Amino acid sequence: MLKNRKLRVILVSSITAVVLFLWVGWSLLPGGPQRGSSGRDLGPLATVIHYIKSDYLEEPDPKKTMGGAFQGLVNALDVLSSYLDKTAVVKFTNPRPLQLKDVGAILYKRYGAFPLVIGVTANSPADKAGLKVGDALSALDERSTLVWSLTEINLYLKNSAASPVKIRLIRDNATKEMTVVRSDVYPKSLTLTPLAGTAGIVRVHHFYPSLTADVKASVLPRVKGQSAPLVIDLRNCHEGDMAEGRAFLNLFLKAEKIGYLERKGGAKDYWACPESAPLEALHIVVWVNQASMGPAELVAGVMKDLKRAKVVGLPTPGLTAKQDLFSLDNGDALLLTTGVFCFNGGEKLWGKGVAPDAKLDLDKTDDKDYIEKTLGLLARR
């Protein structure tokens, strides 16, 4: 608790310093940086402030621009860090995230670029509306997405009500618009389907609590003791808790160290799967694609690193990290990446992702392509 309080003080103090710097900049640079003055030492920021102050069409209001300064400062740190307003904070801290309705679009975004659709949940509102992988979302409800973080956009697309959202997108250099009504995208944590030559395919939809319990209740009785491999389908699985991912892993392996979170200064927080693993003897094949993120990458990466499974599909984006939320006095909050996952050998999963053992071509990623590649891999086993 004390450590978090100290960190909050540091964060707020740092942002306050930036605010004061900008505020002072407006008032102290009427003539711009002077050679030999302290303005020269302020560098490009002082020059930018000078030109806005002296040449911008209207008199700038520092109070009005502080929100954008905060947002840009935090959102530019990495893909997952974000400055969240009060509305986004309420959604982010919702104790039952699956009760929030969504559109089913899986996005990837870097700061200063439009979010790119990298996956579409089957039978979701986005799927039914015709959203496609490769579309770039330029606006939501007439609000530009350019300066938003990935987290802000994902939270904006969620709502407690089945409300519509107007999407403007860019596809093949043309602008299109569609209205999508949010709905329940993940009614179940998983589905189990048969596949000849295997113990079946477990398609994991998310890594929120209840997943591990659902596996124990519905999957374990049907596959335990089988000699045929089990396929774990993590394609388009992009949400959930890291703790649930670790508990899921512990169903298939037992290990004192599965990797560690690397924190600031190189501190290492090792993770374990210490409990007895009821499916430890079962052969495993894991399916991934470019929309397998977070806990899904943790599961696929650890399974591969510990030689517990073969991975089939496309490389993942490498967004496995620990994030902490730091509340501000005005109700907003900072969501900061405070640790990134590394394998036991020191290789980071963050930013690199999981490289499949059997890689598919980008134009051949249908179910039949995954099945064909999997059966071929098993035949050589």
What's the chain's Rg over C-alpha atoms? 24
Q: Within 13 Å, how many C-alpha atoms sit on residue 92's CB side?
A: 25
- Residues 200 and 170 both lie in one domain: no
Number of domains in the chain: 3
Per the domain annotation, does 129 fall within a domain?
yes
Rounded Cα–Cα distance for residues 186 and 245 (Å): 17
Nearby residues of 82 by Cβ (< 8 Å), 6 or more positions away: 74, 75, 88, 149, 150, 151, 152, 334, 335
Rounded Cα–Cα distance for residues 223 and 318 (Å): 30
- Residues 115 and 198 both lie in one domain: no
pLDDT for 94: 87
Q: Is the dihedral of CA 138, 120, 291, 368 positive or negative?
A: negative
Mean predicted confidence (pLDDT) in 144-149: 93
- Residues 347 and 244 both lie in one domain: yes
Nearby residues of 131 by Cβ (< 8 Å), 6 or more positions away: 103, 105, 117, 120, 167, 169, 178, 180
Per the domain annotation, does 67 fall within a domain?
no
pLDDT for 66: 60
pLDDT per position as a tens digit, 8-36: 444 544 554 455 444 444 444 444 444 44
pTM for the full predicted model = 0.84
- Residues 44 and 115 both lie in one domain: no
Mean predicted confidence (pLDDT) in 236-242: 95
Print the domain residue range for 99: 94-181
% of the chain beyond a pLDDT of 70: 83
Per the domain annotation, does 233 fall within a domain?
yes
The CATH number assigned to the domain holding 220 equals 3.90.226.10
- The region, left, alpha or beta by phi > 0 then psi within -120 to 50, assigned to residue 374 is alpha
Nearby residues of 170 by Cβ (< 8 Å), 6 or more positions away: 114, 135, 136, 138, 176
- Residues 357 and 313 both lie in one domain: yes
Which among 60, 75, 102 is the end of a domain?
A: 60
- Residues 194 and 276 both lie in one domain: yes
Per the domain annotation, does 73 fall within a domain?
no
Nearby residues of 44 by Cβ (< 8 Å), 6 or more positions away: none
Per the domain annotation, does 219 fall within a domain?
yes
Least confident interval from 72-81, 233-242, 352-361: 72-81
Contact 74, 334 (CB under 8 A): yes
- Residues 242 and 327 both lie in one domain: yes
Rounded Cα–Cα distance for residues 279 and 177 (Å): 47
Which among 148, 181, 214 is the end of a domain?
A: 181
Look at residues 233, 234, 219 and name the one whose alpha carbon lies nearest to residue 279.
Answer: 219
Which among 133, 157, 181 is the end of a domain?
A: 181
- Residues 207 and 143 both lie in one domain: no
The CATH number assigned to the domain holding 170 equals 2.30.42.10
| Number of Cβ atoms within 10 Å of the Cβ of 380 | 6
Enclosing H/E stretch for 27 = helix 2-28
What one-letter code names the amino acid at 154? Answer: N
Whether 136 has a pLDDT exceeding 60, the answer reads yes
Per the domain annotation, does 163 fall within a domain?
yes
DSSP string over 174-211: EEEEEEEE-B-S-SSSEEEE--TTSS-EEEE--BSTTH
- Residues 107 and 15 both lie in one domain: no
pLDDT, averaged across the chain: 87
- Residues 47 and 105 both lie in one domain: no
pLDDT per position as a tens digit, 241-280: 999 999 999 999 999 999 999 999 999 999 999 999 999 9
Per the domain annotation, does 77 fall within a domain?
no
CA angle (296, 315, 238) in 5-degree steps: 30
381 compared with 122, residue with greater pLDDT = 122
- Residues 123 and 219 both lie in one domain: no
Look at residues 205, 229, 207, 218 and name the one whose alpha carbon lies nearest to residue 286.
Answer: 229
Q: Please, which pLDDT band fits residue 380 given cuts at 50, 70 and 90?
A: confident
- Residues 264 and 346 both lie in one domain: yes
Mean predicted confidence (pLDDT) in 117-140: 97
> 201-204 and 230-233: which strand pairing?
parallel
Per the domain annotation, does 84 fall within a domain?
no
